[in-house]
Amino acid sequence: MKKRKILSGMRPTGQLHIGHLVGALENWLKLQDEYQSYHLIADYHVLTTNLESESIYKDSIEMLIDWLAVGLDPDKVLFFRQSQIKEHTELFLIFSMLITSNRLERNPTLKDQVRDLNISQIIYGHLGYPVLQAADILLYKGEVVPVGEDQVPHVEITRELARKFNNQYGTVFPEPDALLTVFPRLLGTDGVSKMSKSLNNAILLSDKPEIVEQRLKKAVTDPQKLRKNDPGRPDVCVIFSYHKKFNPGEVDEIRTGCESGALGCVDCKRNCASKINSYLAPVLARRVYFEENLPKVLDILSHGETEGRKIASETMKEVRSNMLIG
């Protein structure tokens, strides 16, 4: 039976952290056997919020290493950069004729990103972010799009564009479904904001065990639990939320210990760090391998881009033929 197709991607904006793992990558990993998976490095999308382009290439390769390190299998998955497959920009142009600027201005993800800006000051390409994303997905006829909640509005716009194109010119595209991760987003070690490298509250996928320990040592726990024997409130503690994910077998015990005061934060953090470190150990090992074999990483990318280009160009042939453009 033909496998259904998955397309998902990320912008290469810096090293990935365990929030990405829990929020997206674990989902990608689970699905790579069952689906034909395509994973896109959205390097042109980076320009929507940062015009400095000199680190885009390096960040793209690093992100690919992160993906390979978590266990995405290059024998099963194709990886490619948006900038290297020209059809992305071509389909983006056609799709941009099929949607109003008013619809794009109502995009909640955009509203979140530009919070204090007046919508009339927004960059044209930023407004069109979801249109390029729709082209990313539909060029490969992606049917399932595993993403975080913030991306659901973009998948909705993708469905609308597919429908609009199909009605206008005859059916070429599927209407893809978003597939959400069940585990809620991880908070950063400050205990209040979402995990993000730029907020310096992240545990990176590339962090060595000592670093993970240090980061957890500094993490903010229940402010009412000042000393070991004070009773704590696990439900307001970020470390407890990490235990739930990385140490599910001990959560009941930890809850009881924390609430009674028998378990102190120092021990609890040390235990948590060791569980996160066991989780990350195979990721670190694979990272060492790929960092030492960089030509292999570049080959994987080049293979993905060659294969991706073939698929994209077939789709564009259909698109042009349906539009009678020749």
Residue choice 6, 22, 31, 40 for contact with ligand TRP (CB under 6 A): 40
Q: Segment contacting ligand TRP (CB under 6 A): 7-15, 166-174, 239-247, 299-307?
A: 7-15
Q: Which is nearer to ligand TRP, 42 or 297 (CB)?
A: 42
Q: Is 13 in the site for ligand TRP (CB under 6 A)?
A: no
Number of H helices, E strands in the chain: 14, 5
Q: Are 185 and 194 in contact (CB under 8 A)?
A: yes
Residue choice 77, 122, 145, 297 for contact with ligand TRP (CB under 6 A): 145
Q: Which is nearer to ligand TRP, 109 or 271 (CB)?
A: 109
Q: Which is nearer to ligand TRP, 126 or 164 (CB)?
A: 126
Q: Which is nearer to ligand TRP, 113 or 241 (CB)?
A: 113
Least Cβ distance, residue 174 to ligand TRP (angstroms): 14
Q: Which is nearer to ligand TRP, 179 or 220 (CB)?
A: 179
What track of x and - describes contact with ligand TRP for positions 82 through 121 (by CB under 6 A)? ----------------------------------------
Containing H/E element for 137? helix 129-139
Q: Which is nearer to ligand TRP, 83 or 277 (CB)?
A: 83
Q: Please give the single-letter amino acid code of residue 265.
A: C
Task: Round to whole Å and give the CA distance between 270 and 322.
Answer: 61
Total residues contacting ligand TRP (rule CB under 6 A)? 15
Q: Report residue 113 as tokens.
A: 């990103």
Q: Is 221 in the site for ligand TRP (CB under 6 A)?
A: no
Q: Which of 41, 137, 46 is nearest to 91 (CA)?
A: 137
The three state secondary structure string of 224-244 is CCCCCCCCCCHHHCHHHHHHH
Q: How far is CA 208 from the centre of its chain?
A: 22
Q: Is 72 in the site for ligand TRP (CB under 6 A)?
A: no
Least Cβ distance, residue 39 to ligand TRP (angstroms): 9
Least Cβ distance, residue 234 to ligand TRP (angstroms): 31
CA distances from 269 to 86, 255, 324 (A): 48, 13, 64
Q: Segment contacting ligand TRP (CB under 6 A): 129-137, 165-173, 219-227, 261-269?
A: 129-137
Residue choice 147, 202, 263, 312 for contact with ligand TRP (CB under 6 A): 147
Least Cβ distance, residue 21 to ligand TRP (angstroms): 14
In the DSSP assignment, the letter for residue 13 is -
Task: Round to whole Å and give the CA distance between 190 and 4.
Answer: 40
- What residues contact 35, with CB distance under 8 A and at least 6 apart? 3, 4, 5, 6, 144
Q: Are 205 and 280 in contact (CB under 8 A)?
A: yes
Q: Segment contacting ligand TRP (CB under 6 A): 6-14, 28-36, 214-222, 318-326?
A: 6-14
Q: Tell me whether residue 274 is exposed, middle or buried, using C-beta atoms within 10 angstroms of its C-beta: 0 to 12, 13 to 18, 19 or more.
A: middle
Residue written as tokens 């739930």?
Answer: 244
Task: Round to whole Å and give the CA distance between 273 and 160.
Answer: 44
Q: Is 27 in the site for ligand TRP (CB under 6 A)?
A: no
Within residues 45-64, the interface with ligand TRP by CB under 6 A covers: 45
By the criterion CB under 6 A, which residues form the site for ligand TRP?
Answer: 7-11, 40, 42, 45, 133, 136-137, 145, 147, 151, 154
